Structure 1
């Protein structure tokens, strides 16, 4: 079992995120559906129990209300039986044979009975049978049952000796109260007749049931003979469905292949049993319909959620799949991912990851290109340095020999030129320090200018405007001398007038600015472009302005470097910017 679970778990882990998401949502939906179905089943079971209980209580309440009215009618029957006037009239009728007087007594008796009929809306009619069997009636029409069964009623009354007796007629929905009337004057207990009251049972049942329960009420009443004498239900039953074992209860019974929900309540006043019989299908039909509708809606919603999950998972995992494909391309050495992966517009985690990955690849690609260019620049510089490396000791010794020979012959100018040239060459050959103070770099420039002064004489005017706070700032070695050399080449050599070349240095916002400016003929845009591309050769060591700019950017970043402003007939200005560094 454990191995099986581990195997399933491993297969789940191997699935794609899209399939994992769909499978997880599907499992959640199945679990939810199972829980809902169990919950529905339990809820409907509780509802059924509550319905059964409520129906039983309703029947019990209705039967109590009905018996309350029956007791009231019993009290009326007792009042009629013991009424002094009625007893007097029955006694006189018994003795008096005069037709006129009997007629008067009958009218008086009718008036009395009419009053009693009006005392309860449930009394249909009141009948009195005197000792001679003559019937006196008040109320509704006379029932043939009463006229045809006088002997039966009298016999029943005799058996109960004046006590109240309820008599039912099977399948007629009629009930009767019967009492024997005996004279209570002087406790003679002479027989005066028989009292029979017909009760409107239909009205009592109707009034004893509340409006909200009338639709579900199918009351039936059975007597002690286990026969129905009242049927308010349209359901035809030939016999009592079962014998009640409890006073109040319910049972689900199958009769003629049909299920019925039957509640009963046994009367504590008379030997009757009250029944409420409902077809079981009519009870559960709405419940079943509700259950199926709810389950159908839930399934529909689950299908909709599953469809949305499939669409959503596809949109969610598609950028991830593209990202994985781009990573595979990068893994294979292809940094061009524009055809595979596009910048994401969404700001969610996947979109942020995609954009950051694209940014990272672009930076890696740019760094590779920059590193490649820098390596080429370094190799080119190293090659030119190797070309320029003539045996320095031989060169220094030769220059010293020329210097001493010039001093011996009194050639001070030649001696000064040789000393400046030797200083320049010694500094150029020193590989120990890559950066030097600005003051030292300006000193190198001054030696270079001294040599050029011997060459051009008064045509060269050189000025220095160096702020005192910049002299100790460190700059890369041989940054300014090539710029001055370019000014001599492109300005001084190409004009006959006096050429002014100036070097200016100042600090601004902790950035060192060095400006080399001349008033020469300037450069056209095409010539300026050739200079930047190192196509126009200088008379110096051959390291062009583009190499200086590349060197600065290599050391300090792309924010620093050279800018050149030149205009034909006005002059040229070369601006060098590097961060301020103190050593």
Structure 2
């Protein structure tokens, strides 16, 4: 019992631990999800701000392309027929215009703007321009020429020289569309990202890694010496790094307009450490609580189980016919709880049983002796059969044929009804009993009784409880024959219908009370006489074959018939 109880307690505690652990995991996962949703919303807004600044830069180049004065000045610079004086005036004018655009749009992270034409270059900041090697500048201009008029983002040099936007200026006058200049804009991508993130995140701005077509084009300077593990492209958020060193919570997204993929990384060391510490403390407290619960439960069970062990010892003593001795360890006579009630009840029962044994022992011996004598005085069936045979022989000797038929039928009927054979009964054997019984009835009542037996031979081997048909026939005769003056007719038929074998016993001259079976079962009609037989037959059929089968009793008033149907299963296996 101790082992079973310990196993039950352990099972309950394990299930509790699993449930608690699952709850903690759900809380931990929900925390990640909430952090992701908060960070995702902020990073999406930040990425939209980045895209807006980049889009503003593209719009600025579009304004330069559409500026009529710039178109005219570039046309002069590109015209080989123009004088040097005209070209110098155009250069001086452009030297004021381009810096103005730079001053107006520098908050978008623009580092400098250069405007190239066949005659000269206009700079917004010559010192910054000289930081870029000439061969890179030539490559940038070539990229613009490959797509005349389109704004081209060049990301190949982001790590060293920043992000570049290049765009050819095409002559709009008279729709000539020849290239008269090229705009080159250098953007400090780190400044764009920091300014955009600073608008969203109140605390320290997050770190970014930006990819174009799967290739990294930018990472925040603070990640310069950080080894960022590879991140599954299927994960939209998660944690990377090791707590205690460099741990980040990341979200993945795409910068609108340009379609660059980014990772937004937020330092997560303190959060992760706090969450791991909370998880460790929670699991420790749960473990200690479960262990203390196990010890306490076991101690409480032992304090209760010892009283049951004492009760078991009393039962063992009582089972061995040993006299019950009062407990010397604990007195249960004054205890009012369930344990006290059990001990008090058992002690009282044991005393009463011992008294009953002493009082009834002699009476039991006398009763046994009387039963033996009653058994000795019972009629021996063999003696009865031999007597009937003697009567039959005598009747034949004096040529009393009716008496001989009655005796033969009675003998056959008694052999079947008094037989203790365990063989299963079938409809054929029930029909034989009815034939013997009706042979006696025909001798008694002559032509007053007419009966018809119409059961197909194919139904004769259908199993049926013993003594089912004959009691129904006897009931019909006993309750109707005395009430009818004319001819009494009884009909026994059989058929298959709706997957059942249905035997019908119908007679004239009597009527069943309404709902006779239901009223007998609920004692609304006293089950005396044949009522007991009807209930007995109905219950035996239901017990053997199921609730769907049994007796169905009704009247056909138009023909003055009382009908009993016996419903049996058609397909019977292993019955």
The normalised TM-score by structure 1 is 0.44
Which one has the largest radius of gyration?
A: 1
